Amino acid sequence: MNILITGGAGFIGSHVVRHFVNTYPSYHIYNLDKLTYAGNLQNLKTIENAANYTFLKGDILDEQFLMAVFIKYKFDGVIHLAAESHVDRSITDPLSFVKTNVLGTVNLLNVAKNTWQSDFSNKRFYHISTDEVYGSLGETGLFTETTAYDPNSPYSASKASSDHFVRAYGETYQLPFVISNCSNNYGPNHFPEKLIPLFINNIINNKALPVYGDGNYTRDWLYVIDHAIAIDLVFHKGKNKATYNIGGFNEWKNIDLVKLLCQLMDKKLGRTQGSSEKLITYVKDRPGHDLRYAIDANKIRTELGWTPTVTFEQGLAKTIDWYFDNQDWLDNVISKEYLNYYQKQYNL
Ligand code: NAD
Ligand code: TYD
């Protein structure tokens, strides 16, 4: 099987690429990535020379390029992760989210449809989406696969739109597809603009920890490798035209999570307990901030036998250890672009 994975140099994509390259030596994995600020080939060092792996630098908006690689490499399946992924950036620059997440996905769907047209058998287009398309929950309830879409941020609106296009290509052109909507991931290689890696990095450097609003927002956290395992299952065993929700059964209020992180980091750094908590700084809230996300992952559990393998305690410990052991990775990704973004976003 020849599999195209888009966005494979990013956070989740790099774990998915590594998982497929190592688990399926008989497949050839093609990783197509534009290498935006969020893409980093250092994430793939351990498999870059594998015989069943090829990196293709390119943009999902570039139709000619996509046509050429689809014809040359005869992909049997696509696992589409390439996207602009950060909510705060979508608030300052919504259009780039429309371009990559909506137009880029439609471009990819078109090229898949046009090059596979003669034969859709044994083909599959798998779109990796987010629970954020469902909008915000109140204090109770869970997102299921039938929850109505109700996105609130330009990021989630762009992902919702791309999900709709994938489904439309399935209905209109019979393009075989599957979609999964996952909760917040965390783990190694996570770009330090998202909550957990940002705060790990700031604690190491004794910088303020900017908590939005009152910190009483809730997210459901999943270790990234458990997401990669779920993606493998959905790709191979998921039903055509189905959606699967993926989550960690692991809800945390931001402020509780930040306090836990501070305790673990104090221990790791040999600092007095309570010193990192002093860095917590309440800042202006994110506009349109979704109160709570929580996933009902029972469909993938009962239908495909998936369940998270890593507890939050284990996952956070592994994540913290990784950032300590990979300070050079952090130094490399903290580029001029990152510093400009940081200054504009936080002014701290
Ligand atoms: P990321 O920002 O870390 O990585 C995105 C990757 O896509 C980068 O390598 C980037 O270079 C590449 N890319 C961006 N624009 C491109 C383009 N035009 N052409 C080709 N490549 C391009 O994102 P992530 O956190 O790894 O998320 C991956 C996918 O999973 C996204 O589709 C996201 O919506 C979804 N998702 C993320 C989470 C999460 O918690 N991070 C949760 C659920 C779903
Ligand atoms: P984030 O990691 O950006 O993921 P998402 O917005 O996709 O859920 O944010 C997780 C939560 O943490 C979210 O409620 C916003 C909050 N947050 C802060 O309080 N401060 C920050 O600096 C960041 C980046 C996020």
Q: What is the pLDDT of residue 336?
A: 85
Q: How far is CA 215 from CA 84, 194, 247, 251, in A?
A: 25, 15, 21, 14
pLDDT of 140 reads 96
131 is catalytic: yes
Q: Do 156 and 181 have their domain in common?
A: yes
Q: Both 213 and 226 in a single domain?
A: no
Band of residue 122 on the pLDDT scale cut at 50, 70, 90: very high
Residue 51 maps to a domain:
yes
Residue 114, domain CATH: 3.40.50.720
198 lines ligand 2 (CB under 6 A): yes
How far does residue 276's CA lie from ligand 1's centre (Å)? Answer: 30
Q: Does any domain span residue 344?
A: no
**What is the domain count for the chain?**
2
* Active-site annotation holder among 53, 126, 134, 155: 155
Residue 187, Ramachandran bin (φ over 0: left; ψ between -120 and 50: alpha; else beta): left
Provide mean pLDDT across the span 123-143. 98
Per the structure, the complete domain to which residue 52 belongs is given by 2-186+221-246
Give yes or no for residue 9 CB within 6 A of ligand 1. Answer: yes
Q: Tens digits of per-residue pLDDT, 291-305?
A: 999 999 999 999 999
Do 83 and 227 sit in the same domain of this protein? yes
Q: 158 and 102 in contact (C-beta within 8 Å)?
A: yes
Question: What is the domain-level CATH number for residue 201?
Answer: 3.90.25.10
Say whether pTM exceeds 0.85.
Answer: yes
